[in-house]
Amino acid sequence: MRAYIIRRLIQSILVIFAVTTIMFFMFRIVPADPTAMMVERGMSEEARQALLERWGLTGSLWDQYLRYIGGLVVGDFGDSFFYRQPVWDVLVPRIVNSLWIALPGLLLGALIGSGLGMIVGWSRRGGVIERSGVLGATIIRGTPSFILGIALLAIFSSWLGWLPGFGMGDSHGKEGWARFLQVEFFIHLILPVLAVIIYFLPENLLLMRSGVVENKHEDYIELVRAKGVSEKRVAWHAGRNSLLPLITWLFPALAETIAGIVVIEIVFSWPGIGRELVLAVTRQDFPLAQAAFFLMAVMIVLANLAADLAYGKLDPRVVYK
């Protein structure tokens, strides 16, 4: 077990390394002259050199690459062109903001989605619950996240006027955790989190339903029913078995889900890492964009690792080698 985890960790690090490398060269090779975008016009040659040096843009591409990787290893992402401060300082609060909407949204979306999927899968085939459940989930799944966000904004913010749909609210001068422990913040949190839930829910529902439909005709389900246990308990067995494919899908799906959250952050002007990435790209603030992208890739790799380990916990047939 420990050997397996160590091997998976090494694998993950290699994957992250590969992604970082691809990213680095994409940023350096694709634009015609990277320095031209980063250096202000009308600057003296010495000042230009000093800037280039500060941002690690001197020397051959290979030197730059080595310096960049060396920096990453010690947690140095360089400085943001736009904010003129270390990228890390810019990103940390953004990541925290993103987690505020991502974690509850994804968790609730998965729970509610798989719960509804159970019900839809267990309901009579071709019946009203089954058909409307599948159709409804498919339509919501077919709704791009920004349209979902716009619809929520239109209904709850513009039309009903119940909830704010812009930003995180006034900080009232508070910093750190105190900033988040305010009623105003939570009111601002509702709509974006709701958008993430609705966005993440249908795939969980459909996958859980497929699993239950596949399992409910298995022999073991018949025997469980023959034992005279409650129908709820029978459904539990089908659900428990359907959890396995759901888990294998769930964590890697976060890669796609992050994409949806980026757009949701933009719609609700939520100052998260996704919105920052888009801003950095449009501002051509490459150190920042590169770091934001890197962190997202790390999250996905970690999620995959978590999926493997969770699967091992849930499926007794898995043997770690």
Measured distance CA(191)–CA(164) in Å, rounded: 8
Which ranges of the chain does DSSP label H, i.e. alpha helix?
2-29, 34-38, 45-54, 61-73, 87-122, 128-141, 145-152, 177-180, 183-215, 219-226, 231-267, 273-283, 286-314
125 contributes a contact to other proteins by CB under 8 A: yes
**31 three-class SS:** coil
* 8 Å CB contact between 218 and 267: no
99/181 with CB nearer other proteins:
99
Residue 79 phi/psi, 5-degree rounding, is: -105, 145
Determine if 218 is a binding residue for other proteins (CB under 8 A). Answer: yes
277: CB partners within 8 A, 6+ apart: 262, 289, 292, 293, 296
CB 102 within 8 A of CB 189: no
Mark residues 295-314: x for contact with other proteins by CB under 8 A, - for none: -xx--xx--x---------x
Binding mask 242-261 for other proteins (x = CB under 8 A): --x-------x--xx-xxx-
- With binding defined as CB under 8 A, does residue 109 bind other proteins? no
Among residues 181 and 259, whose Cβ is nearest to other proteins?
259
Tell me if 31 contacts other proteins by CB under 8 A. Answer: yes
Q: How many CA atoms lie within 13 A of 26 on its CB side?
A: 13
- CA 269 to CA 267: how far, in whole Å? 6
In angstroms, give the least distance from the CB of 163 to other proteins.
13
Residue 145 found at the interface with other proteins (CB under 8 A): yes
Residue 241 interacts with other proteins (CB under 8 A)? yes
- Which residue number, 27 or 180, has a Cβ lying nearer to other proteins? 27
Is residue 223 classed exposed, middle or buried when 0-12, 13-18 and 19+ CB atoms within 10 A define those classes? exposed
Taking the C-alpha atoms of residue 30 and residue 39, their distance in angstroms, rounded to an integer, is: 17
Least distance CB 23 / other proteins (angstroms): 8
Q: In one letter, which amino acid is 124? A: R
> Interface with other proteins by CB under 8 A: which range of 52-60, 66-74, 192-200, 216-224?
216-224
- Determine if 64 is a binding residue for other proteins (CB under 8 A): no
Q: Please choose, out of 21-29, 51-59, 86-94, 100-108, the segment that lies near other proteins by the rule CB under 8 A.
A: 21-29
Site for other proteins in 259-278 (CB under 8 A): 259-260, 262-263, 266-267, 274, 277-278
230 lines the binding site for other proteins (CB under 8 A):
yes
Judged by CB under 8 A, does residue 80 bind other proteins?
no
Q: Which is nearer to other proteins, 180 or 249 (CB)?
A: 249
Closest CB to other proteins among 41 and 217? 217
Reading the block at residue 267, the tokens are 């719609």
What is the torsional sign of CA 106, 107, 112, 118? Answer: positive
What CA–CA distance (Å, rounded) separates 209 from 242? 8
Q: Which of 95, 129, 151, 310 forms a contact with other proteins (CB under 8 A)?
A: 151
94 binds other proteins (CB under 8 A): no
User: Binding of other proteins at residue 118 (CB under 8 A)?
Assistant: no
Which is nearer to other proteins, 49 or 266 (by Cβ)? 266
Q: Is 181 in the site for other proteins (CB under 8 A)?
A: no
- 320 φ, ψ to 5°? -80, 130
Q: Near other proteins by CB under 8 A, which window of 45-53, 109-117, 140-148, 182-190?
A: 140-148
